[in-house]
Structure 1
Amino acid sequence: MVREQYTTATEGTHIERPENQYVYKIGIYGWRKRCLYLFVLLLLIILLVNFALTIWILRVMWFSPTGMGHLRVTQDGLRLEGESEFLFPLYAKEIHSRMDSSLLLQSTQNVTVNARNTDGDVTGRLKVGPKIVEVQSQQFQINSKDGKPLFTVDEKKAVVGTDKLRITGPEGALFEHSVETPLVRADSFQDLRLESPTRSLSMDAPKGVHIKAHAGKIEALSQSDIIFHSRDGTLVLDAETVCLPKLIPETSGPGSSSQRLYEICVCLDGKLYLSVAGTSTTCHENSQICL
C-alpha cells in the first residue's frame, strides 16, 4: 500500500513540490504472506478433519439426545439395554433388571461385589469364583420377600428362621459338636436315626426327653452300656408287655427246667437278672449271680 501526499492550492499561489517524497508500505509480502496462507489452510484442513471425526464418533457411538448407544438417560437414572462389557470397576447405588428379564453378571474369572465405607475401606465382599462362593462380612443374612430372616450367620452362631429345616441328603446331617433343638423328626413313612459311630450319644433336657414313635418301634443299640438316669424322678416302663430276652436266667432251683415264669431281680450295682418265679420272691435265693 502506498501513501501519497496531496496539497491544495488556490489560484495565484505557487507551491513547490518537495524533491524527496517518502513512501510507506503497510502489509505482509513475500514469504511471510505465503506462510500465513499455508497456516490458515492447515487450520482449515484440521478443522474439517476434526468435524468429520466428530460426526463419525457420533455415528459409531450412537449418540442421541437421550443417551449413547444402548445407554439411555432417564429420570430414574441410566438404562442399559443388551449386553455390555466393563473393563474397569463400576460404582453404582442400585442395579436392577427390567421387569420382564433377569439380571446376569458374567465374568471369565470371578465376579466380586464390594461395599465400602466413607473412608474407602471394604466392609463387605461377595466373590463368586469358578469353584467357590465367598462372603466376607460381619453378618450374612437371607430374608424372605416379606423381610423375615430365613438364615443368619455371624462369628458366634448360625440361626435358621424357617419353620422347618429339612435335610435331604442320604447320609443325613453331621454335627461335630452339640446341637440344641426343640424337635427332631423324620419325614412321613421314614425312620429317624440318631447315631454316633465312634463316641457316645447323649440327650439332655431340663424338663425331660420325650421319645415317641406313633406308628413303629424304638430301638437303641450300643457297643457298651445304655444308661437311663433320672435325678429327681423314677424310671417308668409303661407298656402292655416288657420283654428282656437276653437277661441271664437263674436255673439252679429244682424243677426250673420246666418253669417258664421268671421274675426280674436287680443287683446293688444295677445289674438285672432273671430268677425262677415262685409263690414269693426268689431274688434273695439266687443273688449269687450278683457276686
Structure 2
Amino acid sequence: MKGNAAAVRAPSSPKVPQMVREQYTTATEGTLVERPDSQSVYKIGIYGWRKRCLYLLVLLLLVILVVNLALTIWILKVMWFFPTGMGHLHVTRDGLRLEGESEFLFPLYAKEIRSRMDSALLLQSTQNVTVSARNSEGEVTGRLKVGPKMVEVQSQQFQINSKDGKPLFTVDEKEAVVGTDKLRVTGPEGALFEHSVETPLVRADPFPELRLESPTRCLSMNAPRGVHTKASAGKIEALSQMDIIFQSSDGVLVLDAETVRLPKLAQGTQGPSSGSQGLYEVCACPDGKLYLSVAGMGTTCQAHSHICF
C-alpha cells in the first residue's frame, strides 16, 4: 500500500443495549404518546442590584448599632451612672442619698429630708423657698414660705421647740406663749404691745432704767396676789397727765419710807395765835383729797375743811 495509512479496525466490543425513551412508553395501539419538552432552569438566590441593596442595608444597620452603642456609653459616662445610683444621687436602703449641690426645676415631694451628721441642710432659692404639708385629699394643712422680705407661716399653730423638746415659742389664733425662762428685748425703743401682756416679772438690765409707758392710753397693772415694784439702785417715778390712782379693795395703803413728801398739797391759813412753828398736819376730805392744816394742840382739820369744797 503506497502512501496510504493503514487503517486498522479495532475489534468491536460487545454491544451494550441502550435504553431509549421509546422503550418506556406503552406500545398500545391507538395511544398517542407525546415527547416531553425540555424544562426551564431557575436560579435560587439574590443576585444583581437586589444583592447590593441588601448588603447596603445591613451595613447601614451595623453603623446605626455602633453609633447607638457609643452614645449609650457616652451618656452613662457623662451622667455618672453606677449600679448604686446616678452621679451624686445614690440609692440606699433608707432611701435616696444626694451629695453636693443640686438644682430642682419642679416641685420635690418627699416624706423626710435631712442632712448628714457632719453638715448642715441648706435650702436656697433666688425667689423664695416654700415647704407645704398636705393631707390625703391634697389640701394644704401647713405652709412655710421664706421670701426675700418676709417669712410667712400658714398653719393653725406655730411652735418652736428646744433640743430636748421643750416648747420655746408657741403662736395660735388666740395667744402667743413664750416658754423660755427669760425673754430679752434688746431694741433701743423696747417692745411695743397693742394689747395686754401677762408675765410674772418685768425687769431691766442691771444698769439701764425700766420704763413702762402708755403715750395715749392708760397703764394698768393687775395681779391676783399683789404688784411689787422695786428699784435696787435708783428711784421709782410715776408720771401722769391726769390722775394716778392707788386702789386697794381689801387692805390699807402703806407708805413706808424715811421721808414722805407731798410738796404740792393745799395749805390752810395759819392763825395769829398759833404756836405751831411751821408745823402742819395732813387732813383728808370725804372724797379722798389731802390738804395741809396748821398743827395745834388738837386737830385743826375742821377749821380748814372749806378746802374740800
User: Do Structure 1 and Structure 2 share a fold, with TM-score over 0.5?
Assistant: yes
Query: What residue number does 1:242 align with?
Result: 260
Q: Does 1:87 align with 2:105?
A: yes
* Code of the aligned partner of 2:100: G
- TM-score computed with the length of structure 2 as normaliser: 0.83
Equivalent residue for 2:197, pick from 179, 182, 205: 179
Name the CA distance, whole Å, in 1 between partners of 2:49 and 2:172.
83
Q: Deviations over 1:201-234 (max 9, x none)?
A: 1112233322233333221111111111122222
State the 1:120 CA deviation. Answer: 2.0
* Code of the aligned partner of 2:294: V
Equivalent residue for 1:210, pick from 208, 214, 228: 228
Equivalent residue for 2:66, pick from 20, 40, 48: 48
* Code of the aligned partner of 2:266: I
Name the CA distance, whole Å, in 1 between partners of 2:214 and 2:79.
67
Preserved CA contact (<8 Å) 2:88 2:100? yes
Query: What residue number does 2:146 align with?
Result: 128
SS in 2 for 1:285: helix
Name the CA distance, whole Å, in 2 between partners of 1:171 and 1:259.
50
Number of equivalenced pairs: 281
Query: What residue number does 1:35 align with?
Result: 53
Percent sequence identity over aligned pairs:
80
Superposition map of 1:217-256 within 5 A? 217-254=235-272
Q: Deviations over 1:114-138 (max 9, x none)?
A: 2122222222111111111111111
Superposition map of 1:1-291 within 5 A? 13-15=19-21, 18-254=36-272, 259-291=277-309
Q: Deviations over 1:177-220 (max 9, x none)?
A: 11122222222233221111111111122333222333332211
Q: Deviations over 1:42-62 (max 9, x none)?
A: 221111111010011111112
SS in 2 for 1:177: coil
Preserved CA contact (<8 Å) 2:143 2:155? yes
Q: Which has the larger radius of gyration?
A: 2
* Code of the aligned partner of 2:174: K
Give ranges in structure 2 of 5+ residues lacking alignment.
1-16, 23-34
Give the aligned CA root-mean-square deviation in angstroms: 2.2
* Code of the aligned partner of 2:75: I
Preserved CA contact (<8 Å) 2:276 2:296? no
Name the CA distance, whole Å, in 1 between partners of 2:20 and 2:179.
124
SS in 1 for 2:142: strand
- TM-score computed with the length of structure 1 as normaliser: 0.88
Q: CA 1:265/1:235 → structure 2, altered by over 3 Å: closer, same or farther?
A: same
* Code of the aligned partner of 1:179: V
Query: Larger deviation: 20-29 or 57-66?
Result: 20-29
Give ranges in structure 1 of 5+ residues lacking alignment.
1-10
Q: Deviations over 1:91-111 (max 9, x none)?
A: 222222222222221111111
State the 1:22 CA deviation. Answer: 4.0
